[in-house]
Structure formats: C-alpha cells, structure tokens
Amino acid sequence: MTDDKSKLLRSLSIDRSANKAERSSRRWLPISAAIVACVVAFAAFGAYEFRRQDPPKETASQIAQQSAAQPQTPQQPPQAPTNSKTAGSLAASGYVVARRKATVAAEITGKVVEVFIDEGMTVTEGQVVARLDSVLAERDYELARSRVETADAAIAAITADLEDATRIMTRVQTLSQKNFATEADLTKAQARVGVLSAQLRQAQSQFETAKIDAKRSASMLDKHQIRAPFSGVVIDRSAQPGEMISPMSVGGYTRTGICTIVDMDSIEIEVDVNEAFIGRVVPGGAVNAMLDAYPDWTIPASVIAIVPTANREKATVKVRIRFDKKDPRILPDMAVKVNFLADAKENGKTKGATETTAAN
C-alpha cells in the first residue's frame, strides 16, 4: 500500500529540468528568427547596392587611365597665418607707368637711311639711333665753311691796306706840319684810312655772319643724326630705312617717329582710389603691390604723392606709388593691385610728428 502511494506521488510530481529546457528553447526561438531575418535583409541590401554602384568595365578602365595620366599633386604646405598688418587694408588697382617715356622723332623732314636700334635694346643719352639722308646738308655746310674762309681772307686783305694807309697818313701829317705836304694830301690820306676802317668792320661783320651760318649748317647737318634724349630701353621701332620721316604728320606714308624709349628707372604705379577712402592714404605710407602677371609675388612699395584733383566721372583720386626696389620683371603698362597697409596712416602721422619735432 505504501509502495503504491509512493509511485502515485512520483507520477504526480513535475519534472522541472524538462520544463526549464523547453522554456529556454521557446525563449531563444524568436531571437534566432530575428537574427536570421536581419542577416537575410542585410545580404539582400548589400547585393542591391553592389549592383547599383558597380560601374561598367569601360568606365572603370577610363577612370584608371585618367588616374595614371594625372600627375601626383604635391601636398600643399600649410599656409602661413595672415599678417595682422594687412588686416583691414585698403585695396586698389591700377597700372605700372613710366614717368619718362618718349617717342624719338626727327626735327626735320628727310629720308631714313639707317636705323641702329631694335626692340629691347638699351640706349644711352646722346646715342645715335637713326640717320637721315644728309647729302644736301653736307653741301650746305661746306658752302658755309667756304664763306667763312672768304670773309677771313677779306679781313686780312683790308687789315693790310688799312695798316699801309695809316702809315701814309702819319707821314703826310708830319710833312704837312713842315709845310712839305698840302692840306689836300692830308685830307685824302685821312679819308682813305676811314674808308678802309669801315671796310674792315664790314668784313668782320661778314665774317661773324659766315661763322653763324656755318654753325647753323652744322646744326642742320647734326639733325640728320637722330639721338636718344635719355638713357632707357627701346620698346617700339616704328621706322625702317627708305621711309620718309617728318616732325609733323603730312599725310601719305610719312612717319613722325623713329622709336619709343622708356626710362626703366622711372617706372612707378598709378592707381585710382575711391574718394570716399582717400583719407586712409598718406604720402610715405607702406603699400604691398601684386602684379597680375606674378600673383604670388608681393612687392614692397610706398606712396609718393596724392594727385590733388579728383575725377568727377569716376569719383576717384589718383595716387602715385613708388617701388622700393626695381626689378627687370616689372614692365610698363602691367596691371597691378595694391593694398594700402592698415597702419600706413599711423606711420605717416608718426613720421610727420618726428620731422616736426626735429625741425623745432
């Protein structure tokens, strides 16, 4: 009886290990299903993106060729921090100009025989740059010199006659005092001396005139040699041998100039500053100039002067700026941008105050 009760109680007891395993399997089942679903979705999305983003073979090869053709760009160095001195500076634009620039021309009309210069050549003051046909001028000069020699010979002849007439007059005066010569002889001798003296003065005047005429002929002959007015560089050659040249335009094929010379030591900058900001510019103020031809090159400069007039149409004032150091890369008529440094005004005021104190 007791054994039967024990069996009955064991049959009615709950197997906790089996329930525990069943509960564990039921709990992980939905988690496993969710993980599998996520993996499947991610794989499908990856396949779609791969098909969409995968370029054609031709495009990929072209990109590879372009990448191989393009040179490797060196890594740019870190830029230096902006100088606080240029912060708030005034900017303007203008051009490089030459204060001494001249078109060399002849003072007379003639035919060009030789041209001794070309573009880019450096010439010195007084150097002959061209020569005109001077055959007639040479003949005129020779004729003038001949007239000078003739006048000089006439002076010599009249001087000799005057000396002889003077001796005769002196002798007649002596004889007249001793009553050995008449008054008429004395008067005649005195008259001859006076005539010869007048002829001598006339000959001397003719001699001076002949010399002046000879100098004029020499000057006209020298004008056939066209010379450089100052030292500089030839930037344009406009005449050729065989052409006619004249100081005035007379039409046809007559030119008025041989070449154009620029004094490279006189180059400077001219910029137009808006009149509303001209108060920020002072003579002597520091300036940074940048040529459009060399944008990475900053050239130190300073203000020469503010031209005391304004342009009514543009509402600007012209400012002249000098280069602190000349450079052969700076050429006339180049475009340039300038920055008037922010502390230029204070520096100008300090400099003016120092000069005033020194004067006192």
What 8-state DSSP symbol labels residue 74? P
The first and second tokens of residue 112, run together, are 């060009």
Name beta bridge partners: 97. 268
Cα–Cα distance measured from residue 9 to residue 214, given in angstroms and rounded to the nearest whole number: 163
| Beta-strand runs (E) in 88-150 | 90-98, 101-104, 110-115, 122-123, 128-132
Residue 251 has pLDDT above 90, yes or no: no
- Residue 71's pLDDT is 46
Asked whether 286 and 299 are in contact (CB, 8 A), the reply is: no
Asked whether 271 and 94 are in contact (CB, 8 A), the reply is: yes
Rg (CA), the chain: 52
- Residue 39's pLDDT is 66
- Residue 78's pLDDT is 40
Q: Which helix (H) or strand (E) holds 309?
A: strand 298-311
Instruction: Give the predicted TM-score (pTM) of the model.
Output: 0.58
Number of Cβ within 10 Å of residue 15's Cβ equals: 8
What 8-state DSSP symbol labels residue 327? -
Q: Which of 56-65, 166-175, 219-228 has the lowest mean pLDDT?
A: 56-65
- Residue 80's pLDDT is 37
DSSP notation for 178-237: TTSS-HHHHHHHHHHHHHHHHHHHHHHHHHHHHHHHHHHHHHHHHTTEEE-SSSEEEEEE
Name beta bridge partners: 322. 302
Give the total residue count for the chain: 360
Which residues touch 149 (CB under 8 Å, ≥6 apart)? Answer: none
Say which residue the tokens 């001796």 belong to: 167
Q: Which residue has the higher pLDDT, 19 or 172?
A: 172
Cα–Cα distance measured from residue 148 to residue 140, given in angstroms and rounded to the nearest whole number: 12
pLDDT confidence bin for 67, thresholds 50/70/90: very low
Give me the half-sphere count of Cα atoms (radius 13 Å) on the Cβ side of residue 164: 6
Which amino acid, 285? G
> Where are the alpha helices (H) located in the chain, listed in sequence order?
2-12, 16-53, 57-69, 135-177, 183-222, 344-359
Residue 5 has pLDDT above 70, yes or no: no
pLDDT confidence bin for 137, thresholds 50/70/90: very high
State how beta strands 259-262 and 232-237 pair: antiparallel
- Residue 97's pLDDT is 93
**Residue 159 Cα to chain centre, angstroms:** 64
- Residue 65's pLDDT is 46
Cα–Cα distance measured from residue 289 to residue 301, given in angstroms and rounded to the nearest whole number: 7
Which residues touch 119 (CB under 8 Å, ≥6 apart)? Answer: 234, 235, 236, 237
pLDDT one-digit tens code per residue, 81-120: 334 344 447 899 999 999 999 999 888 888 999 999 999 9
- Residue 52's pLDDT is 56
**Residue 6 Cα to chain centre, angstroms:** 124
Mean pLDDT of 253-267: 86
- Residue 60's pLDDT is 41
Question: Which candidate, 224, 244, 241, 227, places its Cα nearest to that of 138?
Answer: 224
For residues 24, 29, 30, 36, the Cα torsion angle rounded to the nearest 10 degrees is: 140
